[in-house]
Amino acid sequence: MWILSILSDAAIHTIFGLGILGTIAGFVLGFIPFIKAYRLAIQVVALLTLVFGVYLEGGLADYKEWELKVKEMEAKVAQAEAQSANKNTEIQEKVVEKTKVIREKGRDIIKYIDKEVIKKEEVIKYVENCPVPKDIIDVHNQAAELNKGATK
């Protein structure tokens, strides 16, 4: 209710209170001369004020309830954001570590080829006698670029 953002809680309670007081005045205190003179007008205005006051009080109660729910939700969202950030850090560390291990293992295997495999007699003979044919290299290179055809 937009009107709740304009009226303060005190104003709403005052309208409701005036409505009650006016209704009592208009219907119960009719014997007082001043009230007796304007009785009908007081009754009409007081009843309208009371109805509006009750309506605003209801709206205010509902608004307060929703405000509590919003605060509860904001707290949950803040907690979720913190959890999300923690999880991100955890995943970041895990992926960085995994990538590092994979790279190191790859380098180790390449070093092993350079230091050990290349010195083996059987391998030396094979390298001297059997260079890799160009067709095989082309096929390898085509396979390495399989993704290029799919890129638009």
**By CB under 8 A, is residue 91 in contact with another protein?**
yes
- Rounded to a whole number of angstroms, the minimum distance from the CB of residue 29 to another protein is 27
Residue from the set 31, 84, 121, 122 that interacts with another protein by CB under 8 A? 84
**By CB under 8 A, is residue 152 in contact with another protein?**
no
Token digits of residue 115: 């230091």
Cα gap 27→20, rounded to integer Å? 11
**Nearer to another protein by C-beta: 36 or 69?**
69
Cα gap 143→140, rounded to integer Å? 5
Cα gap 24→15, rounded to integer Å? 14
40-59 binders of another protein (CB under 8 A): 52, 55-56, 59
- Rounded to a whole number of angstroms, the minimum distance from the CB of residue 31 to another protein is 32
Positive/negative CA dihedral, 97, 100, 102, 108: negative
* Residue 56: count of CB within 10 angstroms of its CB: 22
- Rounded to a whole number of angstroms, the minimum distance from the CB of residue 27 to another protein is 23
DSSP letters along 17-54, please?
A: HHHHHHHHHHHT-TTSHHHHHTHHHHHHHHHHHHHHHH
> Interface residues with another protein (CB under 8 A)?
1-3, 5, 52, 55-56, 59, 66-67, 70, 73-74, 76-77, 80-81, 83-85, 87-88, 91-92, 94-96, 98-99, 102-103, 105-106, 109-110, 113-114, 117-118, 123, 126-127, 130-132, 134, 136-137, 140-141, 144-145, 147
